[in-house]
Structure 1
């Protein structure tokens, strides 16, 4: 087993600073790594191999010595990480190999740089949604940790517990916190697969599940109210309402799928498309209300069915995301206008369609297929929080009976 010690080499001139170095010993072979750090003999405790900060040190020297302490801690931890990795993957490694790996610094040595490089690679191979997910989680983590990078061994369960506490203090809901944690876990696991670090299970004590979401469905009466609103005086609200209704008419089609619908997808009265999320192909019978919405908008010059992506060839994903933000912002205003108790978004159209389908006693299997879910179990989870009126009624009867 290799060992690492921090050593001090005093200067031949007693009044000058000496240097610190790392001594690597493995199979009776000793190698040294020069740190470049300078100390006076009085600032080094040879028995404990630690830096001593004199109580009367000048402020600049005081901060210098504290910085060296921090650097030694990080660098010895990095050497320990290299040795652990070699013990696991290369039983015939040498002391020279440890030195070589230590000196071979790369962007993969640290968490933030690895994550940023990974995001760039994902974008290059077309995995834009995954890149955006990781970017969102990384930005949240940086708000907690700051821009100071971390060696892989510093990414442990204690750090993630602190991050979870921070998220809770910031008012982040459990599902969003879990979303960030799952993304960071996926990034960490990629580093483990590349053998950049060992698996320490840093996320084992934080929440990575999915809580039951707040009810986001509305009854058919509200859907009818939204459809019948007179919004000609406000074109943007009218446009947002039309997108909402188009989603509802198409069995709760997601905004991203609506954005990328093309005119060629409508053929012989059938709209066919593949879900961006699952790549599952769905077929929808074209109905009159759908056509009425399409007829309201001029999409000449674009291959798209709806006026969401308007400038072909210009960062279409950014256009879709900007449009999504705008539409949901306007829908919330409509919801306030109607006195709804939940924020009105395009996702409410999807929940609403599923809830109304359930209330009409449409089989779960049919709802599942209509919405493009991977399984009926997904649909059951999806519907579980949509309609609790039957349970509420039963509870009311019980209370009245006592």
Structure 2
């Protein structure tokens, strides 16, 4: 149960000259404590904890009546609403008391609440998602710059990290805005700006969905924002990227390339073939493989992108993959990386950022490998996944088995991403049967 007391906040930051302390309403709830100031700095002998009386200052009687009334009103309200308050987070309880009894309007801005949302993601160690959501907030701030005619310079970060909190940097506070002021008209114009600014058709949809998630969370936190959903009527449909797979002849060309051993391009050719041999394994999943995950000639792992859904794989390694793995075995401990891609001791928070850089390097070497092999198509970290899928479909393997190997939640997801390939093959088969000359 939430409890309150009137006391002094004796932290150095709230102590003035002459040893005067801030008088505060102390709230205790769910093993957490918060303070709401009465905007009074007093010496310890100017407040009687037993009687609640303030003495020795101007208008002491009026201040006493005010603090005692607030205390009594808050205490009664907590008692009347005990059932629902027990399920609240501390910050929500503090905000409600500030608004109801101290006339402090909460700052429900997109950056403030966004910071709380990102802090939660970081505590859950979902650093990649937090980074993606911050990118969406950056795009909003850049649009605000655009409206004010401010130069569009790169934003490294919007927040200062203090403990487990993310606080907006002062330089962006003038560009912040109340969530309630983000209406349908603003959202529509913002989408138009995103569509014009980014070459990818998917980027606007990704950013808008991320911002909607933050605003939906604000609606769950603040009752007056519950029905404020300006982005709900803005189309955020993703466009499937057309797969650009290689074929088995291309894979053979890559295998036959004469590359100097133990060079970066040779390493990246190994990574490329390893990903292909492991059902188009995601680059990040390969980069963070630990030594203990290789056992009995199998690689065992949870797919990073969907590990919350329990996507576990145990893949028997081909002779080629075993040769690649054994080259990189150098006495690692069980918890050291299998491949020399991610530096050891990289923190979880930095892991996704380091991976981004490694992906860029892989894609650069992928282009060089394609050129050396005489392959006109681009080779990126996604190419091997598309290649494995397309070759499987060409071989007539049931799409349900392909879908399982890709870690998709359903066949429909596979059909959506590889719809053109699947549809083309099905139509070719149907057309061949219909147009086949009888007896030929």
Into which bin does the TM-score normalised by the smaller protein fall? 0.5 to 0.7
Hey, what's the Cα distance between the residues in 1 that align with 2:189 and 2:371?
37
Moved more, 97-106 or 196-205: 97-106
1:349 matched to which residue of 2? 384
2:254 aligned with 1:255, yes or no?
no
Runs of 4+ in 1 over 6 A off after TM superposition: 96-99, 391-394
User: Cα 1:160–1:345, aligned 2, differ >3 Å: closer, same or farther?
Assistant: same
Give 1:375's match in structure 2, choosing from 368, 393, 410.
410
1:59 matched to which residue of 2? none
Shift of 1:163: 1.4
Hey, what's the Cα distance between the residues in 2 that align with 1:385 and 1:230?
35
2:126 matched to which residue of 1? 127
Pairwise mapping of residues 203-282 of structure 1 onto structure 2 (< 5 A)?
Answer: 203-232=231-260, 235-279=263-307, 280-282=311-313
Shift of 1:150: 0.6
1:37 matched to which residue of 2? none
2:190 matched to which residue of 1? 163
1:212 and 1:385 in contact (8 A); partners too: no
2:320 aligned with 1:289, yes or no?
yes
Hey, what's the Cα distance between the residues in 2 that align with 1:321 and 1:173?
18
2:257 and 2:373 in contact (8 A); partners too: no
TM-score between both structures, scaled by the size of structure 1 = 0.67
Pairwise mapping of residues 176-215 of structure 1 onto structure 2 (< 5 A)?
Answer: 176-195=203-222, 197-215=225-243
1:320 matched to which residue of 2? 355
Hey, what's the Cα distance between the residues in 2 that align with 1:283 and 1:298?
19
User: Cα 1:98–1:284, aligned 2, differ >3 Å: closer, same or farther?
Assistant: closer
Shift of 1:204: 3.3
Shift of 1:212: 2.4
Unaligned runs of 5+ in 2: 1-83, 85-96, 146-171, 433-440
2:343 aligned with 1:310, yes or no?
yes
Shift of 1:99: 7.3
User: Cα 1:227–1:372, aligned 2, differ >3 Å: closer, same or farther?
Assistant: same
Cα deviation per residue 1:20-65 (whole Å; 9 max; x = unaligned)? xxxxxxxxxxxxxxxxxxxxxxxxxxxxxxxxxxxxxxxxxxxxxx
The Cα RMSD (Å) is 3.0
Shift of 1:387: 6.2
Hey, what's the Cα distance between the residues in 1 that align with 2:216 and 2:229?
9
Hey, what's the Cα distance between the residues in 2 that align with 1:164 and 1:332?
33
Hey, what's the Cα distance between the residues in 1 that align with 2:189 and 2:102?
31
TM-score between both structures, scaled by the size of structure 2 = 0.62
Cα deviation per residue 1:162-187 (whole Å; 9 max; x = unaligned)? 11111222243221211111111111
* Secondary structure of residue in 1 paired with 2:267: helix
Aligned length: 301
1:174 and 1:207 in contact (8 A); partners too: no
2:202 aligned with 1:175, yes or no?
yes
User: Cα 1:187–1:101, aligned 2, differ >3 Å: closer, same or farther?
Assistant: farther
* Secondary structure of residue in 2 paired with 1:271: strand
User: Cα 1:260–1:97, aligned 2, differ >3 Å: closer, same or farther?
Assistant: closer
Unaligned runs of 5+ in 1: 1-88, 90-95, 398-402
Shift of 1:98: 6.3
Pairwise mapping of residues 49-60 of structure 1 onto structure 2 (< 5 A)?
Answer: none
2:216 and 2:229 in contact (8 A); partners too: no
1:213 and 1:385 in contact (8 A); partners too: no
1:115 matched to which residue of 2? 114
